[in-house]
Amino acid sequence: MAEVLVVVEASSQGGVKKVTLEMLTLARTLGGDVAAVVLGGSSDELTAKLGEYGATKIYAAAGADLDEYLVAPKATVLAGLIQRVSPAAVLLASTQEGKEIAARVAVKLDNGVLTDVVALEPDGTATQVVFAGSTIVKSKVTKGLPIVTVRPNSLTPAPAPATPAVEPVEVAVADKDRLAKVVERKVEAKGARPELAEASIVVSGGRGVGSADNFKLVEELADLLGGAVGASRAAVDSGFYPHQFQVGQTGKTVSPQLYVALGISGAIQHRAGMQTSKTIVAVNKDAEAPIFELADFGVVGDLFKVVPQAAEEIRKRK
Amino acid sequence: MKIVVLVKQVPDSGAERTLRNDDNTVDRASANNVINEMDEYAIEEALRLQEAHGGEVVVLTVGPDRATESIRKALSMGPDSAVHVVDDALHGSCAVATSKVLAAAIAQQNADLVICGAESTDGRVQVMPHMVAERLGIAALTGARKLTVEGSQLTIERQTDEGYEVVTAATPALVSVWDTINDPRYPSFKGIMAAKKKPLQTLSLADLGIAAGEVGLDGATSAVAEHNKRPPRQAGNKIDAGDDGGAKLVEYLASEKFV
Ligand SMILES: Cc1cc2nc3c(=O)[nH]c(=O)nc-3n(C[C@H](O)[C@H](O)[C@H](O)COP(=O)(O)OP(=O)(O)OC[C@H]3O[C@@H](n4cnc5c(N)ncnc54)[C@H](O)[C@@H]3O)c2cc1C
Ligand SMILES: Nc1ncnc2c1ncn2[C@@H]1O[C@H](COP(=O)(O)O)[C@@H](O)[C@H]1O
């Protein structure tokens, strides 16, 4: 039985991202062995984590070429591996880098690719949620093998311990893969908060929050709930919060267990990024705000009264 | 410097969008079609480079007849000319096939730089920039929130989840941009009038040496089997904050085990 390849996403600190564990869990349902592909540095800790979630093999590629250039070398290595082992399917994370690697591999192999997949059947049928979360699509790769990028938070990762064999993979890339050189990586502080796309709780603020300084309120509630902070585009455009935290059509798509919208009206482009959250809670002073149409619990009122009171109440309960 | 800007026409993301029931492709006929928002930032960036370094800006669109409206709108912002690849056989093309068409059309232009949006609002796929660059064998600097050009050397700041990366390449190259990179200008009245007379070249697949069977529904590498409307979310309980809105909120969160 052919293997299912899961391309590992790790953070710059080397820890595996939750979406990787989700992909391993999904891969186990597809039949066949699960093999993880590490493009970049691996470690004993990483191997152990991948094994814990069911990887029976790890293809490990490492070297300066993979670290110093944007995605092209990674795509070349992955395409070579796919040609060598003929997997049943290839799963990548639906993140900027995951999609970019998938794009190049699809062209190299003249193979179809499906992005933002939330479910995948053993016969290759993929489920995607499109058009601002309004439409569910079932689709299939019809040329080549299923190469899909999986949206974070699409399923709950479950361990299934295995002891993976590590197989080093040779990195042989061409000059045309070494054109875009990464000369610097800057980590902008976000403290101990979980990553937005992966967080199981997200607390977002909109224009109603009023200022960058007031976003401390949003951060405080997020920290009390152990969640990530998000923002509407209006809040980002007004300079209240950095762009990488924007939720929506032109920002991140999130699908947490709990989404809290503070001072956000709920425009269709914002809903595009949070509509599939399990539970939605909104605080808005306008009783007619569209966000209430999708909120499981809505509080009509001034967020500057409601949020501090809620924070106080959570502290009391702790 | 010669710059080609990739501009896609998409259904307005602010309105309801659907897939067609007959062949599961995006319903473009009944939609209000607009320039993919991110591509306006690409046009703006190209125009700023032209203002600073001289050269020429060409708009390139692959899409149906009606995409002409978006092309004229793009030209009204200031680019010099446009190329529109239009062919009935293109209907239903997948991303892999579209990238082949875009790459072939770009190759005819001898451009130093290709600028495009980071993603389109209809597909949200974010794959086109790297597909096109892979085919052309040129550098791809994607996800730029800032671009600087010195001679033939390009430097971008690429937004990441953790911060940003500084990435460099020499021309010829492709750069994809996010909406944080600039503020696109509005077309002036003069610009709108001038756009009507700007050269717009129409190309067919044959002009690009691509066979009809390589694209469209027949040549697609993936297919939609079915599509359904997601049941709309039901609004839940909505309360007035009164004096204890925060406490009630936490009560709810506790009942759902979030606290
Ligand atoms: C192509 C395109 C892409 C877009 N992409 C995105 C995207 O990715 N993400 C996104 O979010 N938007 C996006 N937008 C913008 C979107 O259309 C809205 O403009 C935006 O979401 C509005 O943000 P907001 O809800 O914070 O602001 P507003 O619509 O101004 O709403 C602010 C809300 O705060 C409430 N409020 C004010 N003060 C208080 C208070 N003291 N207490 C409680 N409530 C208060 C008000 O009642 C109001 O409902 C996009 C638009 C376009 C055209
Ligand atoms: N048919 C097309 N014609 C012109 N440009 C396109 C087309 N499709 C995609 N693009 C460009 O590629 C970018 C990314 O698109 P996508 O990969 O579809 O999200 C867009 O912002 C456009 O600049």
For the segment B242-258, what is each residue's pLDDT rounded down to a tens digit?
999 999 999 999 999 99
User: What's the whole-number mean pLDDT along residues A37-53?
Assistant: 92
> Taking CB atoms and an 8 Å limit, are B246 and A136 in contact across chains?
no
Residue B230 banded pLDDT, cuts 50, 70, 90: confident
Nearest to B134 among A11, A107, A281 (CB): A107
The whole-angstrom separation of Cα A101 and Cα A95 is 10
Distance of residue B65 Cα from the nearest chain A Cα, in angstroms:
23
Q: Between these two residues, A290 and B230, which has the higher pLDDT value? A: A290
* B116 CA to centre of ligand 2 in angstroms: 7
User: What's the whole-number mean pLDDT along residues B175-194?
Assistant: 96
CB A298 near ligand 1, within 6 Å = no
Atom number of ligand 2 nearest to Cα B116: 23
Give the chain A residue whose CA is nearest to the CA of B229. Answer: A135
Using CB atoms and an 8 Å cut-off, which of residues 105-124 of chain B contact chain A? 119, 121-122, 124
**Chain A residues with CB-CB distance to B254 below 8 A:** 317
Nearest to A12 among B129, B130, B162 (CB): B162
CB A264 near ligand 1, within 6 Å = yes
Selected residue of A195, A293, A296, A317 to mutate for chain B interface (largest B Cβ count, 10 A): A296
Q: Is B190 on the interface with A (CB under 8 A)?
A: no
**Chain B residues with CB-CB distance to A297 below 8 A:** 236-239, 249, 252
* A33 CA to centre of ligand 2 in angstroms: 36
> Taking CB atoms and an 8 Å limit, are A250 and B160 in contact across chains?
no
The pLDDT mean for chain A works out to: 95
* A172 CA to centre of ligand 2 in angstroms: 30
Q: Quick one: pLDDT at residue B231? A: 85
Strands, E assignment, A66-225: 89-93, 114-120, 126-130, 135-141, 147-150, 165-168, 181-187, 201-205
Distance of residue B57 Cα from the nearest chain A Cα, in angstroms:
23
Using CB atoms and an 8 Å cut-off, which of residues 42-81 of chain B contact chain A? none
State yes or no: ipTM above 0.90. yes
Give the chain A residue whose CA is nearest to the CA of B247. Answer: A310
Q: Quick one: pLDDT at residue A41? A: 79
Q: Quick one: pLDDT at residue A14? A: 67
Residues A3 and A34 sit within 8 Å (Cβ to Cβ): yes
Nearest to A142 among B159, B173, B222 (CB): B222
* A313 CA to centre of ligand 1 in angstroms: 27
* A288 CA to centre of ligand 1 in angstroms: 14
- Please choose from B5, B6, B86, B93 the residue to mutate so as to test ligand 2's pocket, defined by most ligand atoms within 8 A of CB: B6
Residue B123 banded pLDDT, cuts 50, 70, 90: confident
Phi, then psi, of B208 in degrees rounded to 5: -100, 0
Ligand of minimum distance to the alpha carbon of A254: 1
**Chain A residues with CB-CB distance to B161 below 8 A:** 95, 195-197, 244
Q: Whose CA is nearest to atom 1 of ligand 2?
A: B62
pTM: 0.93
Distance of residue B49 Cα from the nearest chain A Cα, in angstroms:
20
Closest CA to B57 of B103, B108, B6: B6
User: What's the whole-number mean pLDDT along residues A102-120?
Assistant: 97
CB B214 near ligand 1, within 6 Å = no
User: What's the whole-number mean pLDDT along residues B91-97?
Assistant: 95
> Taking CB atoms and an 8 Å limit, are A113 and B127 in contact across chains?
yes
- Interface A:B, Cβ pairs < 8 A: 279
Own/partner contacts of A105-108, CB < 8 Å, gap of 24 or more, are A105/A75, A105/A78, A105/A79, A105/A147, A106/A147, A106/B95, A106/B96, A106/B127, A106/B131, A106/B221, A107/B96, A107/B99, A107/B131, A107/B134, A107/B135, A108/A75, A108/A76, A108/A79, A108/B134
CB B56 near ligand 1, within 6 Å = no
Q: Quick one: pLDDT at residue B124? A: 67
User: What's the whole-number mean pLDDT along residues B81-86?
Assistant: 98
Distance of residue B25 Cα from the nearest chain A Cα, in angstroms:
11
- Residues A254-284 pLDDT 10s: 999 999 999 999 999 999 999 999 999 999 9
* A51 CA to centre of ligand 1 in angstroms: 43
Q: Whose CA is nearest to atom 19 of ligand 2?
A: B119
Reported residue count of chain B is 259
The pLDDT mean for chain B works out to: 95
CB B14 near ligand 1, within 6 Å = yes
CB B245 near ligand 1, within 6 Å = no
Selected residue of B36, B100, B126 to mutate for chain A interface (largest A Cβ count, 10 A): B126
Percent of chain B with pLDDT over 90: 85
The whole-angstrom separation of Cα A5 and Cα A188 is 32
Q: Give the sign of the dihedral formed by CA A205, CA A300, CA A257, CA B224.
A: negative
CB A289 near ligand 1, within 6 Å = yes
When mean pLDDT is compared across A219-223, B14-18, B21-25, the lowest value belongs to: B14-18
Q: Quick one: pLDDT at residue B122? A: 83
Q: Quick one: pLDDT at residue A1? A: 66
- Residues A116-175 pLDDT 10s: 999 999 999 999 988 878 889 999 999 999 999 999 999 999 999 999 999 999 999 999
